[in-house]
Chains A and B, each alone.
Chain A
Amino acid sequence: MLKKWLGLFFIVFGVVAVSLGSYAQVKIHMSSYLVQVDKKTGKETLVTSNTAYPGAVIQYVIDATNTTDKAIQGLVLVGPIPAPTKLLPAWYQAILNFLAGKAEAPAFCVLIKQGAAAQTVPMTGHKLPEFSIDGGKTYSRPPVSYVVNGKTKQATPDMFTHIRWTIDTLGPGEKVEISYRVVVP
């Protein structure tokens, strides 16, 4: 009876966060901030807000904590770009600029490790996030291209549907934090 009731619950709300009979060994949490820029100084501040105007930039922060006493391998964090928002073009462009050797590694492109081995790790090379343009089925490293009618084209930031980060090892009790930005059309 309980099982049936649960099934009904999932169908009505479409929410799933259960792997049968096991507890989550990695606790994942998401928060969002509005990125506000002082027009005079150019200084950014992150403001907690549950509302946004069209044109606003939202920074999503995902943190994941290993709640076990053993290292977790191959942790993959997936951040969707929720409808109707688009990935902030400047965010993607900064990565492209870095890859083209025109700029330093973007300051936002870091993995913040907390806990015993607290550190801020620049996410370069194979640690750069990967991007999906097909609803999360496949991911590519930037610069992302796709093939249409036999021709290869560069993907534009508005095409991205998901971003993912792969963290090789997350030690016991360690917490990682990554972030990305979207714009409200």
Chain B
Amino acid sequence: MSSTILSHVLFAQISNWKRMGDGLYRGRGRVDLIDLLPLAIVIAVAAIAIAIVVKVRKRNDMTTQCDNPAKLFRELCLAHNLDRASQKLLGRLATALQLSQPAEVFLQPAYFRTDQIPAELRDEEAELQALQERLF
């Protein structure tokens, strides 16, 4: 099988050029599906890669019209150059406060007040205070 594959790849071999179509007629015109498997795998991997690239690009493309609260949250995080930890912390704050629009945390300084911080985030009060300073 490997010789068959190589015979397709090594174009420089003149003798192989002459015999390039020989294999296809092996077995009286019947194609062995197992021979196409590598090609199918390559195509599938490429498609997945393209889909991922498109998805990632679309996720970070803020110029398209949409109605996506999470994307707005990301857009604001990017605008403020927040690192992943800060983004995650703000996201957790929005979840803990049960906000339907996570981006609201960028407009409500009150959410960062000590008495407003949910119990599960008390340990990170200092980080939240720093974020408040940065955002407001």
Pairing of A with B: no
Please report B residues at the A interface, Cβ cutoff 8 Å: none
